[in-house]
Structure 1
Amino acid sequence: MQTENQVNSTITLSHHNCDTLICHTCLFFKNKDTSFASIDAVAKNLALQVDAGFRNVRLSLNNEIDQTKQLITETHRIHEKNQNKIHEAFASLHQLIIKHEAILKENMAAIENDNTKQLNAYENHLLKIENSLDFQQAQFCEIVSKGQHVQLLQREYGSVDYLNKIHKELGRLKAPRRTQYDIQGLENLSKIKDEILQCGTVNLKIDNSLGYENSRLEKIMAQQTNPKMLDLSDQQLNDQDVKVLVEKYHEITALSEFNISRNQISSKGIKCLASMLQQNKELSVLILGDNQIGHRGTQYLCHALEKNTVLTTLNLSWNRIGDKGAEHIADALRENKTLTTLDLQQNCIGCLGASHIANALRINTVI
């Protein structure tokens, strides 16, 4: 015990109760049971704590930087891959369109050429008849104009026979018809055009877990030797880490005791954990104290408790679940008949929340 004069003369002590350097004004100072510690010792201890805090923050920061670099690398790789996919798809489509267009034009040209050839042949035949008719008619007109009546009479039957022959020949002729054809499927090109334009639509999906890693968590899980108990308390774990635990480390489904207290887990992480808890048949002790669950996370957890039949101990202390969270717990207690130990200290539960739980305990006689 140090005197007041000693403290006033040189400030070398720190009061254990109020952690102030100048503690001679504190009422505890004159209490004979009051204890003090050396400022050097307190400062050294504080320096160690702050140094450890800096190291933890630095470790978390380095993890975030490494994960960001991985995301950048993965983004570049995916970008290049998508660029190649687009090029290959459109190049293949472009080649197919050019090739098919050439084939289609070639087929159409062959049909048109055949039609033209038939029509030209028919036209030439008609022109020959016309030339013969012109010649015969010119001779006839010359005889008439010269008054050569004897010669005209001599050519009577010849001219008549010629005209009858030409008339019959024209009657037997069958003019070629132009081939009619329809190009099937061209109307579908407009639909294909719309589909191609739709191929350029990009749907953005944000994947927050892409490339996420926590090397410290991986190391802890790799060194895990107890298949029934896992202690991840005070590891600065977040919602992403809980998601990784549930999705990647399936061995946690065989745990009987799981301590994940004093971390940075919110309702999002609890939602992942609750989905696992609904199906779990082994876990009997779950410690979630000193996180950031809130009333929303409590709702997820309690929904799982209504279906869980093996959990006996649940610690939810220091999670600020409030009256709303207490109401969710009350609803779960009315259904759950397995839970025997429930820690709810320091959760900002008022009279209303306490009354909800009290009413539920009238039904639940196990806890």
Structure 2
Amino acid sequence: MLQELSLRNNRIRDKGMEYIANVLRENMTLNTLNLSKNSIGNDGLKRLAKDNMTLITLILSNNLIGDDGAKHLAEAIQNNSKLITLNLENNRIGDGGAQKIVTALNINTMPKSLNFSKHCIKDEQVSILAQSLTDNKTLIELDISSNQIGENGVQYLVNVLENNTKLTILNLSRNQIGDSGVQKLADILHVNKTLINLKLVHNQASQRIQHELN
């Protein structure tokens, strides 16, 4: 029986999601679905089958999903007790949509990996994600690279990392983190013994601080 399906880089769009939803509603074996690069927007996410209980990996990167679509996706997340990996890289989800998804992830305690890269996330939005890490006891990998996170955003994360004992991988590459933020993250590693992979390449740290940390 079919367990993995990749429809990456096609022209599914919102209309095509109606057929995908019908398949998911009936299929009890599919566990990995890749729908990246398909121009799927908010209307397409409305059609996402809410009663599918088998998807473990859902890849929706490089689409046109906004806050309304994120709301419907959050409902689907709450109804799927097996979802472990969710990739939302490079969509159009703002504060409201991010809040919905974060809340859903805290209700559904299965997800282990969340990719929220390339979303223009700023320091204010990091506070929402940081709160998720406070409440979430299962997420082990968070990718928020290629955003606009600076010193204040780092402080939100550092406050959470002091007590978080689950997150093992944190990708903060390609943000706007300077010397102060990088130093704070380096210092927290002396306290947090769970985080083993911290990615900080292509930020705004000086050569001096990079040399000292290396």
TM (norm. structure 2) is: 0.66
Structure with the greater alpha carbon radius of gyration: 1
| Aligned with 1:306 (options 113, 127, 134) | 134
Does the aligned pair in 1 maintain the 2:55–2:83 contact within 8 Å? yes
* Identity rate, percent: 27
2:108 counterpart residue number: 280
> 1:31-60 CA distances to partner (integer Å, 9 max, x unpaired)?
xxxxxxxxxxxxxxxxxxxxx9xx99xx79
> 1:300-338 CA distances to partner (integer Å, 9 max, x unpaired)?
111110122211111110111111111111111111111
| Aligned with 1:331 (options 143, 159, 167) | 159
Q: Distance in 2 between matches of 1:268 and 1:215?
A: 17
Return 5+ residue gaps in structure 1 as ranges: 1-51, 63-212
1:106 counterpart residue number: none
Does the aligned pair in 1 maintain the 2:127–2:156 contact within 8 Å? yes
How far is the alpha carbon of 1:244 from its aligned partner? Answer: 1.8
Return 5+ residue gaps in structure 2 as ranges: 1-8, 16-40, 196-214
Which secondary structure state, in structure 1, belongs to the residue aligned with residue 183 of structure 2? helix
| Aligned with 1:262 (options 69, 90, 94) | 90
2:75 counterpart residue number: 247
Name the CA shift for 1:282/1:343 in 2 (closer, same or farther; >3 Å): same
How far is the alpha carbon of 1:249 from its aligned partner? Answer: 5.4
How far is the alpha carbon of 1:214 from its aligned partner? Answer: 3.2
1:230 counterpart residue number: 58
Please tell me whether residue 315 in structure 1 is matched to residue 143 in structure 2.
yes
Does the aligned pair in 2 maintain the 1:289–1:315 contact within 8 Å? yes
Q: Which amino acid counterpart does residue 292 of structure 1 have in structure 2? A: C
Q: Distance in 1 between matches of 2:66 and 2:101?
A: 12
Q: Which amino acid counterpart does residue 352 of structure 1 have in structure 2? A: S
> 1:89-141 CA distances to partner (integer Å, 9 max, x unpaired)?
xxxxxxxxxxxxxxxxxxxxxxxxxxxxxxxxxxxxxxxxxxxxxxxxxxxxx
Does the aligned pair in 2 maintain the 1:267–1:292 contact within 8 Å? no
Q: Distance in 2 between matches of 1:225 and 1:282?
A: 12
Q: Distance in 2 between matches of 1:357 and 1:258?
A: 25
2:123 counterpart residue number: 295
User: After TM superposition, what 4+ stretches of structure 1 lie above 4 angstroms from structure 2?
Assistant: 222-226
Instruction: Give 1:148-297 correspondences, 5 Å limit.
Output: 214-218=42-46, 221-222=48-49, 226-247=54-75, 250-252=78-80, 254-297=82-125
Between 1:334-343 and 1:288-297, the stretch displaced more is 288-297
Which secondary structure state, in structure 2, belongs to the residue aligned with residue 298 of structure 1? helix
Q: Distance in 1 between matches of 2:46 and 2:105?
A: 22
> 1:255-295 CA distances to partner (integer Å, 9 max, x unpaired)?
11111111112222221122222233211111111112211
Q: Considering only aligned residues, what root-mean-square deviation do their CA atoms show, in Å?
A: 2.8
- Higher RCO (Cα < 8 Å, 6 or more apart): 2
Q: Which amino acid counterpart does residue 348 of structure 1 have in structure 2? A: Q
Name the CA shift for 1:253/1:344 in 2 (closer, same or farther; >3 Å): farther
Which secondary structure state, in structure 2, belongs to the residue aligned with residue 273 of structure 1? helix
How far is the alpha carbon of 1:251 from its aligned partner? Answer: 2.9
How far is the alpha carbon of 1:247 from its aligned partner? Answer: 3.2
> 1:336-359 CA distances to partner (integer Å, 9 max, x unpaired)?
111111111001111121122122
Q: Distance in 2 between matches of 1:284 and 1:249?
A: 13
How far is the alpha carbon of 1:241 from its aligned partner? Answer: 1.1
Name the CA shift for 1:280/1:226 in 2 (closer, same or farther; >3 Å): closer
